[in-house]
Structure 1
Amino acid sequence: MKIGNRKIGRSEKPFIIAEMSGNHNQSLERALKIVDLAAEAGADAVKLQTYTPDTMTLDIHTGEFFIESDTNLWKGQSLYNLYQEAYTPWEWHEAIFNRCKEHGMLGFSSPFDETAVDFLEMLDVPAYKIASFENVDIPLIKKVAATGKPIIISTGMASIAELDEAVQAVRSQGNDQLVLLKCTSTYPATPENSNIATIPHMQELFSTEVGLSDHTMGVGTAIAAVTLGATVIEKHFTTSRAEGGVDAAFSMEPHELKLLVEETERAWSSLGTVTYGPTDAEKPSLEHRRSLYIGADLKAGSVLTKENVRVIRPGHGLAPKHLELVLGKTIKVDAAKGTPLSWELLL
């Protein structure tokens, strides 16, 4: 499949998405800088989130609309105020997407309701992303699928049955351009809670491209995911964690994103195919294997013993497996120390 002009698949290097989320801190200038830095680091795409506080929740600041959990990164805020702080103004989208185009990058977004899809269609985005918390919103998924554009769905918290419903919702609209992202919906996530061994199983189960939406710190989990077949990697991205922001605590900085791009491509490049024996690049090294050599100056008629036959480098003599066979044999010509042993030397 393709997103824009970029092919997605095992034969292509990993597709790297820099997720801006709310890291712009309500500054368009900072949002555009995030795009610039993502391009400089080598990302393939920048992703936004398209919603307003009113399309996400109710303007209520008590009870279940207020975050009180000690384990929640956003404890002490109401949902409405959190989304008010984090949302990307819709009037910024075109400028951000245009900046992506200037860098030759793709720009797209996660819509959180049907009005966001209609808005993004007016901007002719090349793809859509469904966030983990929306992967059970079948009406939204069907509306996105009906655009005919590629869809990336994060699978955080979803059971196999729920994922099957989402996949079938996409395909029911005649759309087979689908990527599922293994995701752990904790912020940040730990490597131990990432379970990326699910990636090849998900590929087999749903016959889709599979990637990773990664909330862990560092690049290790993403690199491991690529070795398991991940073709898309999404990471939250910011200019600097020290500058704060709703998602800054688990977002990558520019030097880390650059490292992610480089190391996931190295991991992908190293996969190759199942192969045994020396590669073309290894063949010159064959001469540095061990082999059998004459270890002392010998006259014709001398008997080979463990004292005058050595298993050493380089590899121009008989293979070491022949040692027991040649011991006790007689040589038919003089042989200087350092002569590779060959069958032609033996009587």
Structure 2
Amino acid sequence: MFNKTFKLGNRIIGDENPTFIIAEIGINHEGNPTKCMEMIESAARAGADSIKLQTLPANENYLPGTESNDIFSKGWIDIETTAKAFELARELGVEPMTTCGDLITLFKVDKLKPVAHKISSGLITHEPLIDEASKLGKPLIVSTGMTKINSAKKAAKIILENKNYDACFLKCTSLYPAPLKDLNLKGILELKKILKAPIGFSDHSIGIDASYLSVAMGANIIEKHYSYDTSRKGFDHQISVNEKGLSELVQNIRKAEIILGNNTMEISEAQSYMSKCNLRKIVARKEIKKGEFLNLDNVGFMRTLPSVEGLSPAYWRKIKGYATKRNFSKYEIITESDLKK
């Protein structure tokens, strides 16, 4: 069984902990190392907990002549540049990771000590990759957007067989952009039941609403594509957020966490004071003589000053019909010691 919580760097992943926010740079740097470094810096300013790249050598991952081979040939940054990117991220307090699609690159990247290994939706059936990645002693983050639940179950089984108990699976809809009607955020709850692991959300929709709403469904990790210019054509720019959008997303997620609170029903000190101010107490609604019996004609249930101690209306069924031991003036508080059966 997977651990309910685990660490990514100094952050704890799991329920009752802050949502871990990944800025998915991917190849939106378009193969420009300088732009990549600038994007890491801006993601850190926006409040991301992590940045994620895509380290996918085109000729190791996509057949020549395919659209993906063309795109990733243009968007490639080498291992040396990736190492520098990871180093910069750590200096800025942001945890680095990347997606690898082939074993040669996986082992090279592992030497750079990423905070986790990411398995994308398109790699969830790449069982040799999952098998080897889960043996490397690092947490795995696995997206689930392109297949039915059985693929996620099989991936989970492989990871657990390798005695790796730190993994988070991301609910994902692998459409670009993903229509809101297809996001099915309630699936996060179902994945938690089925996989018995931390669950997150990889957001391919336009805007940020789905990301912060997923927190209410229990998402432990949010992954959102990140761009320096969302108006640019190609790559993943148009399903991404820029620095301003990421900053707004981070703020909304943190606000959502405050609003959601925890799973207890305790009330705050402020609420406790309000209860003293507002909850009713049992009082004499008219003069009551000694020896008279309490009834709904001579008793009222009224709001008093906060400092006044008295019986709650919840006591009424217990003291109804009791006799008074003394006289009461109108509006006087009635206490149990003033009564007899």
Task: Give TM class, smaller chain.
Answer: 0.7 to 0.9
| Count of aligned positions | 328
CA change 1:16–1:334 in 2 (3 A) is: same
Q: Which residue in 2 is equivalent to 1:73?
A: none
Q: Given the alignment of the two structures, is residue 228 of structure 1 paired with residue 217 of structure 2, yes or no?
A: yes
The Cα RMSD (Å) is: 3.2
CA change 1:326–1:255 in 2 (3 A) is: farther
CA change 1:320–1:37 in 2 (3 A) is: same
Q: Secondary structure at the match of 1:241?
A: coil
Q: Distance in 2 between matches of 1:220 and 1:142?
A: 35
Q: Which residue in 1 is equivalent to 2:39?
A: 34
Q: Please say if residues 56 and 112 of structure 1, whose CA atoms lie closer than 8 Å, have aligned partners that are also in contact.
A: yes
Measured against aligned partners, the alpha-carbon deviations of 1:205-261 in whole angstroms (never above 9, x if no partner) come to: 222221111122344333333233321111111233235552121112223322333
Which of 13, 16, 26 is the aligned partner of 2:21?
Answer: 16
Deviation at 1:136, TM superposition (A): 0.6
CA change 1:156–1:341 in 2 (3 A) is: same
Provide structure 2 residue ranges, at least 5 long, that are not aligned to the other structure. 1-5
Q: Which residue in 1 is equivalent to 2:8?
A: 3
Q: Which residue in 1 is equivalent to 2:74?
A: 85
TM-score where L is the length of structure 2: 0.81
Q: Which residue in 2 is equivalent to 1:197?
A: 186
Measured against aligned partners, the alpha-carbon deviations of 1:265-302 in whole angstroms (never above 9, x if no partner) come to: 343453412436x4445221111223455668x59689
Q: Distance in 2 between matches of 1:108 and 1:275?
A: 38
Q: Which residue in 2 is equivalent to 1:273?
A: 263
TM-score where L is the length of structure 1: 0.80
CA change 1:310–1:180 in 2 (3 A) is: closer
Q: Secondary structure at the match of 1:217?
A: coil
Q: Distance in 1 between matches of 2:83 and 2:153?
A: 34
Q: Distance in 1 between matches of 2:37 and 2:297?
A: 74
Which of 75, 93, 107 is the aligned partner of 1:104?
Answer: 93
Percent identity between the two aligned chains: 26
After superposition, residues 161-310 of structure 1 pair within 5 angstroms as 161-243=150-232, 246-269=235-258, 270-275=260-265, 278-288=267-277, 289-292=279-282, 309=300
* Higher mean displacement: 267-276 or 316-325: 316-325
Deviation at 1:138, TM superposition (A): 0.8
Deviation at 1:52, TM superposition (A): 2.4
Q: Distance in 1 between matches of 2:161 and 2:320?
A: 73
* Higher mean displacement: 142-151 or 242-251: 242-251
Q: Distance in 2 between matches of 1:263 and 1:331?
A: 59
Q: Secondary structure at the match of 1:20?
A: strand
